[in-house]
Amino acid sequence: MSDRDFERQLAGYGLTTVNVHYWMPDHRSLLNQLTFQQYDLAPRFPRLEQFLDFWRTDIEAVLHSVQIAHAQLIGPTEWQAVDGVITIN
């Protein structure tokens, strides 16, 4: 059984770090920050868009800004299967 995140990387997903700044309705003078990482496809970021749509409809906090950093860690042309094991004594 292979790792789901590894399969995503082979499919073109990259590690996306997201910083979300937001206000709570009852504390408008206090700016909060949420940081998280997920695997997503650049440049459209469908998983991030899904999260932001959920935020806008189901969370009372008001978005101030969203910062995105994306790194393509591995691609299909970078991975190669190895047929043997080399042991060093």
Helix (H) or strand (E) holding 71: strand 62-71
Residue whose C-alpha is closest to residue 72's, from 20, 11, 3: 11
Domain presence at residue 87: no
Q: What is the pTM of this model?
A: 0.74
24 contacts: CB under 8 Å, gap ≥ 6:
30, 32, 60, 61, 62
Domain presence at residue 84: no
Domain presence at residue 88: no
Average confidence (pLDDT) over 5-29: 90
Domain presence at residue 78: no
Q: What is the DSSP string of 14-39?
A: EEEEEEEEEEETTEEEEEEEEEEEEE
Domain presence at residue 52: yes
What is the residue whose two structure tokens read 């080399």? 86
Q: Count of domains in the chain?
A: 1
The tens digit of pLDDT for each residue in 44-60 reads: 999 999 999 999 999 99
- Domain of 49 in residue numbering reads as 4-71
Q: Position 63: which residue type?
A: L
Domain presence at residue 32: yes
